[in-house]
Amino acid sequence: MHLSDLWFIAIAVLWAGYFVLEGFDFGVGILLPVIGRDDGERRILINTIGPVWDGNEVWLLTAGGATFAAFPNWYATMFSAFYLPLLLVLVALIIRGVAFEFRGKHPEARWRRNWDAAIFLGSLLPALLWGVAFGNVLRGIELDAAHVYVGSFFDLLNPYALLGGLATLALFTLHGAVFLALRTTGTLRDRANAIARPVGIAAIAIGGGFLAWTELSYRSGHAGTGLASVLLAILAAAALAGSVLANRAGREGYAFAANALAIAGVTGALFTALYPDVLRSSLSAAWTLTTANSSSTAQTLAVMTVVAGIFLPLVLAYQAWTYWIFRKRLASPPAPAGGPPQASGEPAPVGPGEPAPVGPGGPA
């Protein structure tokens, strides 16, 4: 195995980690106006991801940085071709982050509703556009001999890529629902479990269709990875079905773990279907970027491998510790006697013996 192949695998793992972790963040944001019926309930939903959402986004930065360092030609061509979609994703992520910080700064209902809408849109757009982007990477885009994109933005909105966008949207929404069922109690937990059932069926139908289309039309002819892509797609479909069944049986931990496995399996199936290409040209196969013609020098990849081997375990240990500390369920805020539910900027009440939830920049 060449170091370029190793870093292709590493980038695939980073994207899988990003989609698994940031996926439930997106799902919580998408479901915020559906499951949260008042300000107190929406504050609880946001607090479930408050301590971890910004750490989850580090996986995206690392995936982008690794692509830039290991495959500079891939990075330059892809970010130029997908400039507008990626700009929309970046703006959505910025607005969502600002909304997390600012929604609790004033108690006015209109102020908080506006920021809640920003969280919803800032979660919905990336969940959709990431699938569109990866669909185009597999299908191929209009690259010329100089690896310059000569198509338009609307060429990216083809049926296969749009189906990929709907697939990631459904998967992340389901991921958010099973995560909320695992992290909340009472009415919020019941609503999350209830909405996970129809969303799960939609995810199976749309995600299964997208994987089938990928394997039939866009799977690489590489002997080893072609078979691996099929096996990973089957694993993802089975895990997704298992998540829906576990949810129906009330096994929330198993449902979340199975859906995480499904998202990781889908990501692995897409990357193995792509290999050894990294960005396909729909104009000529000779103009396709591969791991061989887009990678950095062997010396650069060797240095990157050493650095990653030293620091990656430390980062993973820290993030695992963060999730362990904030593993408790969050209870719905009780309504004060003779008055409406609490709607101040104070931390939401929690169950007996549980730590008070903390928002991204303090209490929401």
- The pLDDT, as a whole number, for residue 74 is 95
As a whole number of angstroms, the distance between CA 310 and CA 111 comes to 45
**And the tokens for 232?**
């990973």
- The pLDDT, as a whole number, for residue 348 is 42
Q: Is the dihedral of CA 118, 122, 123, 128 positive or negative?
A: positive
**And the tokens for 266?**
């889908």
- The pLDDT, as a whole number, for residue 222 is 75
Q: Is the dihedral of CA 70, 71, 73, 77 positive or negative?
A: negative
| C-beta of residue 255 within 8 angstroms of C-beta of residue 199 | no
- The pLDDT, as a whole number, for residue 339 is 40
Closest CA to 122 of 206, 49, 188, 182: 49
- The pLDDT, as a whole number, for residue 89 is 96
Q: Where are the alpha helices (DSSP H) in the chain?
A: 3-35, 39-49, 53-56, 58-70, 72-81, 83-102, 109-139, 159-183, 186-217, 223-248, 252-274, 298-325
As a whole number of angstroms, the distance between CA 52 and CA 358 comes to 10
| C-beta of residue 358 within 8 angstroms of C-beta of residue 51 | yes
- The pLDDT, as a whole number, for residue 330 is 87
**And the tokens for 35?**
């499951």
- The pLDDT, as a whole number, for residue 331 is 80
As a whole number of angstroms, the distance between CA 135 and CA 296 comes to 25
Residues of the chain with pLDDT under 70: 1, 332-364
- The pLDDT, as a whole number, for residue 332 is 67
- The pLDDT, as a whole number, for residue 335 is 52
Q: What DSSP designation does 276 have? A: T
CB neighbours of residue 343 within 10 Å: 16
| C-beta of residue 35 within 8 angstroms of C-beta of residue 191 | yes
Q: Give pTM, 2 decimals.
A: 0.88
- Would you give the distance in Å from CA 26 to the centre of its chain? 7
- The pLDDT, as a whole number, for residue 353 is 36
As a whole number of angstroms, the distance between CA 15 and CA 135 comes to 14
Closest CA to 267 of 77, 16, 3: 16
CB neighbours of residue 90 within 10 Å: 11
Burial 186-219 (b: 16+ CB within 10 A, else e): eebbebbbebbeebbebbbebbbebbebbbeebb
- The pLDDT, as a whole number, for residue 360 is 40
